[in-house]
Chain A
Amino acid sequence: MSNIAKTFNELRSSGRKGFIPFVTAGDPDLPTSLSIILKLAELGADVIELGVPFSDPMADGPTIQRSSQRSLEGGTTLQDVLDLAKNFRSRSTVPLVLFSYLNPVLRFGVERFGQEVQKAGIDGVLFTDVIEDEAAALSKSFAEYEIDLISLIAPTTTDERLGTICATARGFIYAVSRAGVTGAQASTSDAAEALVDRSRKFTDLPIAVGFGISTSEQISDVWRYADAAIVGSAIVAAIEKQPQNAVAAVDSFVRTLLPPFANGGLET
């Protein structure tokens, strides 16, 4: 059983829901990134999503765009991100999912990437711009390296596609809460709940909801109907505000998300 599956099984059997933070690797710099994700693990993250910076992040809103740009300006490469993951893995068992656009991985070489991801102890990979139709080849070579290729679903995904996507999905399913790019929103849409409900017909895999989640109220709401809540841009924004003091900034922001953890959520 994969590390991700194990984590969600444990959550389920203890009646808890998951918290999945996202940060861009190399923002504000690589050593600080390592401290940030170690802090997130310490705070009780169930899975950590690590963003690979890309020059043209078309699915991301301004916050993650700027974060990617800062990371690239600092010279972060895909190899650096893999090394960062490896460092993290030597100190923590929390599952790691790489979040990337396809091109840097194509350039790196899909086979080589698979090997390196496995070596680094990364548990899953998610591509923003690879849909199920294009994923077959990747999925095959990643399965060989025991890496879960995480599938995305969206409110616009038809039932027919949900069936196909869920049939081959591994690890957990990432449900995009609304049509749009990444970024904090005042409220989560009803679309997310409807999407999760529709997907349950097709899969028993855990479903995590992301895009636009930035408060403890929103997390509590997602936890009503889904298995985990993903928080990205809001954490990245905290880093952006205090790059010199990023670990503390993340610490204090994530603690504002903590009340729901206390309500039968995460125990740290």
Chain B
Amino acid sequence: MNYEPNEQGYWGEYGGRFVPETLVAPLDELTTGYLAIRDDPDFQAEFHDLLINYVGRPSPLYFAKRLTETLGGAKIYLKREDLNHTGAHKINNCIGQILLARRMGKKRIIAETGAGQHGVATATVCALFGLECVVYMGTEDMRRQELNVFRMRLLGAEVRGVDSGSRTLKDAINEALRDWVTNVDTTYYLLGSALGPHPYPLMVRDFQSVIGREAREQILEKEERLPDVLVACVGGGSNSIGLFHPFLNDNVRMIGVEAGGRSSELGEHAARFMDGGSVGVLQGTKSYLLQNDDGQIALTHSVSAGLDYASIGPEHAFLHDADRVEYVSCSDTEALAGFKTLSETEGIIPALESSHAVAHAIKIAPDLGKDSIMIVNLSGRGDKDINTIMEIGSN
């Protein structure tokens, strides 16, 4: 089956471009620029050189022996995106987009960030190429990801707090879009997830697909067969689509794990495919989103800032409707338990986002046969979450 969007950036009925008219020309310019480098060997060589020598790829596919033995079921492999430079998968996309921005002659880079990982990765590539960098971040996220705010500033980026709405990722994206629409001539918007208007969902997925391509090669080398199950957390959906995409035409089961938050009540979670989620348009794209009966976007909650978002990338909406990927959710409590288990059994402290994937793996692995193979995307490391964990522990 073909999982490419059409020329307007639609996967089935999802995607497209729902933006102010001012942004059409810059999005066209971006699309043209991206399609020109997509299959350009020079660009790809430069991209891969940086992935190897700067990011430290390929990231290991690590067999989690003690976790596997503890659970007594499927063999669990961890795709170690947490070992990338800057500590998460976000850097893959940033390397790709910064090279594109340079080719397009843009000198000023803006980005949004939730957990701060995309902000840090953007600040990093801007430092690498000596470009001006402004990162928008909700003030609630600045509070809970203080360490990343400090890292961004160390890297020379300006972090602008956003005080509207729930003061999280969604509000940061609104503000970044407002900046872009105002400074279109000079500015490149380096969007961090597989969302937003076309071509972002396509471009981000392409750059992140290095995760799945490597994992596929690595598992074939280690096990001489494809895995049975892939598990990844889904906020906007870039780490998961990056892992899933190269396996879409294989007989591999895929599970995306959304943030179940505190409860299934609207406003208390960020699981777009749960009750309360329905099709709509937000921030440039048509997809599933959390909204009230009057079409106002709902507030969301998750213990992990990176999953705390009301919508989901359009390709995920398509894969959901096509029944190609299963979407489930894990609660804050389950994610925290996953965080603890992985830390104690493997000596790996996962990001709270990735802990959702770990938690689901822990839930299902015992029921899968010992011969089955599971790959869990460990999209980031948990250093940034230590403050949150300490706060929760002391309450």
| CB contact list, B188-210 vs A, under 8 A | none
Query: B60-87 interface mask toward A, CB cutoff 8 Å, 1 = contact, 0 = none?
Result: 0000000000000000000000000000
Q: How far is the CA of A84 from the CA of B297 in the complex (A)?
A: 23
Q: Is A128 among interface residues, defined by CB-CB distance under 8 A?
A: yes
B282 and A158 contact, CB distance less than 8 A: no
Q: Is A104 among interface residues, defined by CB-CB distance under 8 A?
A: yes
A103 and B22 contact, CB distance less than 8 A: no
A106 and B24 contact, CB distance less than 8 A: no
Q: Is A176 among interface residues, defined by CB-CB distance under 8 A?
A: yes
Which of B17, B25, B170, B178 has the largest number of chain A CB atoms within 10 A? B178
- Judged by DSSP, the binding face of A is loop
User: Which residue of A has the minimal Cβ distance to B296?
Assistant: A55
B280 and A131 contact, CB distance less than 8 A: no
A56 and B283 contact, CB distance less than 8 A: yes
Contact of B295 among A59, A61, A108 (CB under 8 A): A108
Known: A78-B294, A179-B183. A61 touches B19 (CB 8 A): no
User: Which residue of A has the minimal Cβ distance to B293?
Assistant: A107
Known: A55-B297, A134-B18. A107 touches B24 (CB 8 A): no
A128 and B295 contact, CB distance less than 8 A: no
Known: A129-B19, A180-B182, A181-B178. A103 touches B297 (CB 8 A): yes
Q: How far is the CA of A59 from the CA of B165 in the complex (A)?
A: 15
- Judged by DSSP, the binding face of B is mixed
A157 and B25 contact, CB distance less than 8 A: yes
Contact of A134 among B16, B26, B173 (CB under 8 A): B16
Known: A56-B170, A107-B280, A107-B295. A102 touches B181 (CB 8 A): no
Query: A92-105 interface mask toward B, CB cutoff 8 Å, 1 = contact, 0 = none?
Result: 00000000011111
Classify chain A: how many residues form its interface, as a range: 35 or more
| CB contact list, B281-314 vs A, under 8 A | 281-284, 289, 291, 293-297
Known: A58-B283, A129-B20, A161-B24. A179 touches B184 (CB 8 A): yes
Contact of B20 among A69, A104, A154 (CB under 8 A): A154
Q: Is B164 among interface residues, defined by CB-CB distance under 8 A?
A: yes
Contact of A156 among B8, B22, B291, B295 (CB under 8 A): B22
User: Which residue of B has the minimal Cβ distance to A152?
Assistant: B21
User: Which residue of A has the minimal Cβ distance to B16?
Assistant: A134
User: Which residue of B has the minimal Cβ distance to A59?
Assistant: B20
Q: Is A54 among interface residues, defined by CB-CB distance under 8 A?
A: yes
A131 and B21 contact, CB distance less than 8 A: yes
Count the B residues whose beta carbon is within 8 Å of the partner chain — how many? 38
B365 vs chain A, min Cβ distance (A)? 39
Q: Is A130 among interface residues, defined by CB-CB distance under 8 A?
A: yes
Q: Is B185 among interface residues, defined by CB-CB distance under 8 A?
A: yes
Q: How far is the CA of A108 from the CA of B296 in the complex (A)?
A: 11
| CB contact list, A116-132 vs B, under 8 A | 128-131
Q: Is A155 among interface residues, defined by CB-CB distance under 8 A?
A: yes
Known: A58-B283, A157-B25, A179-B181. A104 touches B19 (CB 8 A): no
Query: A35-55 interface mask toward B, CB cutoff 8 Å, 1 = contact, 0 = none?
Result: 000000000000000000011
Q: How far is the CA of A134 from the CA of B285 in the complex (A)?
A: 11
Q: Is A25 among interface residues, defined by CB-CB distance under 8 A?
A: no
User: Which residue of A has the minimal Cβ distance to B19?
Assistant: A129
7 interchain residue pairs of minimum CB distance? A107-B295, A104-B295, A156-B25, A154-B22, A180-B182, A55-B296, A154-B21
Given A106-B295, A107-B294, A179-B184, list of 9 further CB < 8 A pairs? A58-B177, A59-B20, A72-B296, A103-B295, A107-B295, A133-B8, A133-B24, A153-B21, A156-B25
Q: B residues touching A (Cβ–Cβ < 8 Å)?
A: 8, 16-26, 164-165, 170, 173-174, 177-178, 181-185, 278-284, 289, 291, 293-297
